[in-house]
Amino acid sequence: MSDNRTPTPAGEPPRTPPRPPAPAAFPVVPTLPAYPVQPAPQPAQNQPVPPSYTPTTPPAYAPYGAPVYPAVPAPRPTSGLAITSLICGIAGVVLVWAIIPVLASIAAVITGHMALGQTRRDPGIGGRGMAIAGLILGYAMIAIAAFTLIGIIISFLFVGAFSLPFILSR
């Protein structure tokens, strides 16, 4: 074996293999600049001062134990017939003093049944609740209109039959 520490004949420095770089104990992580910290009041006695906190960047992933929420599914499109049924049912209730409620209620019942059939055939279309609400409002207003009409006819037959002879006899 040869000694690498001996000078070479030309007076050059000895050849020594380069030392391997020392392994880093921790990877170098860039940190944010520390916030300005007010100096702590010095205690009267010589006690060690705890190290100050330097903020670091938060991790890019959720910490262990954090809740993972599922993705929200896309909303289903609503049936236009169901919307029409609901609007006509509400119009029948609001416009109870006019002739329009009877027509609006009939339209609410027809479009409500069509919307229920449409949502039953294609489960990708929503609006079943609106169709049912339109049906309930439509049937309720048709029933109220029918009872009102029957009450008017009965009152004309019985009250009118007893009152007309007395009014015309004078």
pLDDT, position 88? 95
Q: Which of 68-72, 93-97, 119-123, 127-131 has the lowest mean pLDDT?
A: 68-72
Q: Express each pLDDT in 15-61 by its tens digit.
A: 667 776 666 566 666 666 666 666 666 656 666 666 666 666 655 66
- Over range 126-143, report the average pLDDT: 96
Distance of alpha carbon 34 from alpha carbon 52, whole angstroms: 10
pTM: 0.53
Distance of alpha carbon 122 from alpha carbon 114, whole angstroms: 12
